Amino acid sequence: VVLFDNDITTNISHSNGQSYSRRSLKIKDDTGTINITIWNEKIAEVPEQVVNKTIRMRNGKINHYHGKPAF
């Protein structure tokens, strides 16, 4: 279940000048919570209204960001 949606933000890379879009979500299941970052064209695959909805994530990669797991 999605707990939080930080909406879409656009960043510009200082090294190459390209812009990148990012959408940050926080989701929860029986094992706990995790932050999700969705980049660029993948943002269109997630509905606009997702808070309190169940979503399925596939082919993601788990990293650690500030000492916490992130998807």
Residue 9 has pLDDT above 90, yes or no: no
- Looking at residue 23, its pLDDT comes to 92
pLDDT-derived band of residue 11, with 50, 70 and 90 as boundaries? confident
Q: Are the CB atoms for 5 and 23 separated by under 8 Å?
A: yes
pLDDT, tens digit (0-9, with 9 covering 90-100), for 26-68: 999 999 999 999 999 999 998 889 999 998 888 888 888 888 8
Q: Which two tokens stand for residue 35?
A: 């932050």
Q: Is the pTM of this model over 0.85?
A: no
pLDDT for the residue 44: 92
The pLDDT of 3-17, averaged and rounded, is: 83
CA distance from start to end of the chain: 14
CB 51 within 8 A of CB 1: no
